Chains A and B, each alone.
Chain A
Amino acid sequence: MKSSTPLIEFKNIYLSFSKKNVIQNLSLIINKGDKVVVSGKSGSGKSSLLSLVLGFIQPDSGQIVFDGTLVNEKTVWDLRKQVSYINQDVSLGDGIVKELLDFISTLKKDNYSDITVAELMEIFDLDNDLIQKNVKELSGGERQRLAIVIAIMLNRFVFFLDEVTSSLDKHLKNKVADFFLSKPDWTCVIVSHDPVWLENPIVKVFDFEEGKWKQ
């Protein structure tokens, strides 16, 4: 069983923005294969947990360990190659979808994949002719699903999903949640207050404001 092997460890983290404390003495372990939902009010700074691991922000004090390695300015570059991240705003930039997908395929860990892009697009109800469009022309929901396709395409085992279902209807939300939660090898850290994640029996819910696991 992989589930008892720690993947991400937050050790005594303190974080503040403009003198406002966002995180105070947080210690948290996420094991390999865990499906963790980070819950809390909007604006409470729960997305900062993901940004801390990815090195986008630095804690005032404390350490973050990823797969046994301390996260710092040298190790973070390798860490990013192991994580698939979807940010809240789905900032896929500007350009034709096909060019974006071609670029992403150059970043894949290996070319082997048991599922093709076309199959993924079908699973998430994306039209095939969408690949000729500009990313900017896509609706919020389409962009969100395209970001999900990209995250899966990368063939990685760690997923940071920040409000990835916010623009989707109930049917698609269920599809996305079922897809991610059904993979035992995948570690998913999901920032959301959507019941589709929170009410699923296999997820562990971490209450960001309280700084502890919900029973």
Chain B
Amino acid sequence: METVDIPILSLLIAFILLVIPVVISLKYGLKIVKPLFVSIIRMSIQLALIGVFLKYLFIWNNPFVNIGWLTVMIVVAVFASIKSSSIKITKIFLPAFLSFFVSTFTVVLYINVFVIPLENIFDARYLIVLGGMLLGNSLRGNIVGISTFYDSLRTDSKHYLYVLSLGVSRKQALLPYIQKSVQLALKPTLASMATMGIVTLPGMMTGVILGGASPDLAIKYQILIMIAIVVSTIVSVVLTILLTERVCIDKYGVLRTDVFRIGKK
């Protein structure tokens, strides 16, 4: 079964649907017309460019180029996840990058080597597509994880110092904050996994089915990707916290105030 192609002209017809949010915005004074069109135009241009880029990436299928591109994707994801927190990017970029790099590559290569298994484990179709999917979820998890960890340490600083004063180790004092951050970061993934197939038909499955594969195969891939997502999200969140706390908390166990961006709560 082949996927039905969408001619460019037909795709333009899809854009007509945007009249609806425009009318709603004008009627209720939502002032979202400009940001809506900026986002739509950005999304279309970015996807068109990446479409061309991916086409060549798949044709070349050079392991070094593939690894390089996934690394670029990791850099962007790390920037996005730190930017939403109150920590200065320069302070924790390197440890966060290391965490994303290790968690993404370990899980993708494990799948490519042991589960699928591929002849070329750096095949663009698997390395980049699977890696991208894991990164998107690690990004969401880390946005919650990093912010929760540092914000709760900051707002709870008096209690944290009291616990330190009792003579506990650094690890013991930080443990409740690590637990809370990881639990919160994983919550959306666990909730969506628990309702999968009933409430949601995930993007990957939809894509594989639309791509012409049987639902059986799509489901097998979906189960695989969900396991990979949970593992890479938890590994990346835990690693990011463990590696960045070495930078953000001093050798006396006290949270450094100079790692926070001024005015960012």
Residues on A facing B (Cβ under 8 Å) = 54-58, 73-74, 76-77, 80-83, 85, 87, 89, 91-93, 104, 107, 154, 160
Nearest chain B CB to A203 CB, angstrom units? 23
Interface string of B72-101 (1 = CB under 8 A from A): 000000000000000000000000000000
Contact A73 B166 (CB under 8 A): no
Contacts A55-B254, A56-B252: A77 and B158 contacting too (C-beta < 8 A)? Answer: no
Complex CA gap A53/B91 in Å reads 28
Q: How many residues of B contact A (CB 8 A)?
A: 18
Nearest chain A CB to B26 CB, angstrom units? 48
Contact A104 B252 (CB under 8 A): no
Q: A55-B254, A91-B158, A93-B159 are in contact. List 9 more A-B contacts (CB 8 A).
A: A54-B161, A56-B161, A56-B164, A57-B254, A58-B252, A77-B170, A80-B165, A81-B167, A83-B165
Contact A73 B167 (CB under 8 A): no
Contact A73 B159 (CB under 8 A): no
Contact A73 B251 (CB under 8 A): yes
Which A residue sits closest to B164, measured CB to CB? A80
Answer yes or no: B162 CB below 8 A from chain A CBs: yes
A residues within 8 A CB of B253? 55, 77
Contacts A76-B252, A91-B158, A91-B159: A54 and B166 contacting too (C-beta < 8 A)? Answer: no
Which A residue sits closest to B251, measured CB to CB? A73
B residues within 8 A CB of A87? 158, 161-162, 165
A residues within 8 A CB of B251? 73-74
Which A residue sits closest to B176, measured CB to CB? A93
Contacts A55-B254, A56-B252, A73-B250: A80 and B158 contacting too (C-beta < 8 A)? Answer: no
